[in-house]
Chain A
Amino acid sequence: MSRVLLLQGNQAVVEGAIAAGVRFYGGYPITPSTEIAEGMAKRLPQVGGKFMQTEDELAGIGTVVGASLGGVKAMTATSGPGFSLKQETIGMACSAEIPCVIVDVQRVGPATGQPTSPSQGDVMQTRWGTHGDHWLIVVSPSSVPECFDLTRRAVELSEKYRCPVILLMDEIVGHMRERIELPDSYEGLSVPRRKQPDTPPEKYLAYADTDGSMVPAMADFGSGYRWHMTGLVHDETGFPKGTPAATKNSQDRLHLKLRDHEDDIVQVENYRTDDADVVVIAYGGAARTAYDAVDMARDEGIRAGLLRPVTIWPFADRQIQAAAKKTKRLLVHELNCGQYVREVGRAVRGLVPVDLYAKYDNEPATPEQLLGKIRESAEKIKGAK
């Protein structure tokens, strides 16, 4: 049995988290993500979970890491200014491999920016926000039902790969209300927990790759497996070790555990791209405009399509290269001065020209505006002939 609801994206995130089995939330109110905190405050104790409004953003992510050490699926949500504050702890979660989900509902920045206006200016920050070499996973929904699904997916990936996963939203998706069909019961929707050790406690090495997956088993604090977590470079024992070999081995495994599983992690959606001459690349809220603009372009005879990265990081190199081989021109549309477009350019390596429609004036593009840019790209193809 299911129920049909009219929900905000932020509310759908709450339901997705509850369904996935998240039972701890620590966070600080910030527009435009606050509805996630409010929803978790109401819903978590109903299912026996715990919500904390922390003293600041640092404590928000800190309590989440602490709860995760105790074996509880944990999440926080914020927006740009708070996301900046959380970066150091996100880096520790990368290094110490602590599963956690961080929602960033983007607003216009830098600084206080425009709290209630949409932007996608944090897309590079999600990749490189914390200091040092690191890998993590970022996924971005563009509809309310997808907020539910991708929140579950974010929890699943963080538990499976023992890394922070960032659910990258924007003000459009966070505050938009849309039809969503939710099951009456979330039974069976909880995602698997992190892998548990199959060795006895005295043989347990907290960071040993015991099954070739490069993801070590993680025992809960208090479960009888005593281990040491540190943000210092460590070897498979978990204790600090700063030799060149230990440093390189640790970096290699942290990178490869995600890079070698890209087939499982990276997802894109292709919409009318099969025969497209112009492929729009857009993610999150900006992709909403693109579906309509592509349809309108088709109606007037322009073969347009949309490639929507659902996984933002790791970057969908192969999928975007494949699209570039089949099409004549790419058009990246994003709500910033042009960030993701640089990665697209890097990935296609000059195979096809890459155009940019950058919108950064507090308002999303209309389908008509994007259609105009599709027309321009199509004209350039004609001109090149």
Chain B
Amino acid sequence: MKSMEELVDFYFRPNRLPHLWCPGCGNGVVLGALLKAIDAENLAKDDVAIISGIGCSSRASGYVDFNTANTLHGRALPISTGLKMARPELNVITLSGDGDCSAIGGNHLIHAARRNIGLTLVVFNNSIYGMTGGQYSPLTPVGKKATTAPYLTIEPSFDILALAQAAGATFTARATTYHVPVLVDVLRKGIRHEGFSIIEVVTGCPTNYGRQNQMGAPAKMMEWQKDHGVMKAAWDKMDEAAREGKFPIGVLSERKDLKEYTKAYDEVIARAQASVKEETA
């Protein structure tokens, strides 16, 4: 396996650094893990497309040397979907943030999951709108401070993976920026999964979330991830009381009974062409 320096040399575009992320931000850890996963899966650069929405994490697409697009707020999934339909052979990896994916792009999330289209969606969940300076998102927990919730948030947050599962997602997984080997592992499995896969990555935004909520220095926020993320196998053995405030990590669900969308569409083409032959026969 390549070292991080070798990964940067090989996969980063020359002259695109420095990145715009704040010191202590977890986005670089997620992007590094993604490059490790792509490298471990031996995917050629030409065969990978990275499509992102808008937000801090979505800037990642511009730094790396693949077919890339930094699109519109909330629209990474439709654009990824169109590209996958045009080029089913491409490994299309969609990068999105918690606000991008669960608020302004929420409708696209449930329908991409329902269709089971072969995209790998990586959700950088930092519990906040970072780029605009710290407003609450649908994944900000109740009782937290945000610039638009100066008196604490009152809206319950989504469990985005439960939402995706209910909508039909055939692969769901979670990791944190502390649990990097787990993150690389679930990214690899998500990429390999034929249908729609969603990987939620719990990551820290010390500048715009941590500071408002007295979570301490970046390292402290990673300790929080270490203390609250529990491997699925251990999670399954825990009772309700022990689970309080914690969350499971690893592959949370996987099913193979549903056909991938572009493959299913090939059957539509076959039926349509057979009907034309019948008509002309």
Contact = CB atoms under 8 A, between A and B. Distances in A.
A239 B82 contact: no
A224 B269 CA distance: 27
Contacts of B69: 69, 96, 228-230
Q: Which 9 A-B pairs have the closest CB atoms?
A: A66-B82, A62-B78, A70-B86, A63-B82, A45-B272, A66-B79, A221-B67, A67-B82, A229-B69
Interface size class of B (residues with CB under 8 A): 35 or more
A59 B90 CA distance: 20
A67 B83 contact: yes
A209 B41 CA distance: 37
Interface of B: 13, 16, 45-47, 49, 51, 61-62, 65-72, 74-75, 77-87, 89-90, 107-108, 110-111, 265, 268-269, 271-273, 275-276
Contacts of A48: 269, 273
B70 A230 contact: yes
A74 interface: yes
24 contacts: A24-B85, A26-B82, A55-B108, A55-B111, A56-B107, A58-B108, A59-B78, A59-B108, A62-B79, A65-B79, A65-B82, A66-B81, A67-B85, A69-B86, A71-B87, A74-B82, A88-B72, A92-B72, A96-B69, A221-B83, A223-B46, A228-B69, A232-B70, A239-B62
Given A45-B268, A226-B46, A226-B68, A69 B79 contact: yes
Nearest to A65: B79
Contacts of B70: 228-232, 240
Given A24-B86, A66-B80, A67-B86, A222 B72 contact: no
Interface residues of B, dominant DSSP: helix
B79 to A, nearest CB: 4
Contacts, number: 147
Residue from the set A50, A228, A231 with the largest chain B CB neighbour count within 10 Å: A228
Contacts of B81: 26, 52, 59, 62-63, 66
Contacts of B268: 45
A342 interface: no
A93 to B, nearest CB: 10
A71 B86 contact: yes
A281 interface: no
B75 A50 contact: no
A228 B62 contact: yes
A54 B81 CA distance: 10
A71 B211 CA distance: 45
A83 B275 CA distance: 33
A72 to B, nearest CB: 4
Interface in A205-264: 220-224, 226-232, 239-240
B47 A66 contact: no
A197 to B, nearest CB: 14
A273 interface: no
A325 interface: no
Contacts of B46: 222-224, 226
Residue from the set A42, A70, A72, A220 with the largest chain B CB neighbour count within 10 Å: A70
A67 B82 CA distance: 4
Interface in A35-60: 42, 45-46, 48, 50, 52, 54-56, 58-60
B43 to A, nearest CB: 12
Residue from the set A26, A60, A226 with the largest chain B CB neighbour count within 10 Å: A226
Given A26-B82, A52-B85, A65-B79, 4 more contacts: A55-B110, A69-B86, A226-B67, A228-B68
A64 interface: yes
B49 A228 contact: no
A66 B16 contact: no
Interface in A2-50: 24, 26, 42, 45-46, 48, 50
Contact of B85 (A50, A58, A89): A50
Residue from the set A52, A72, A222, A224 with the largest chain B CB neighbour count within 10 Å: A222
B85 A226 contact: no
Contacts of A69: 67, 69, 79, 82-83, 86
Nearest to A43: B272
Nearest to A71: B86
Contacts of A26: 78, 81-82
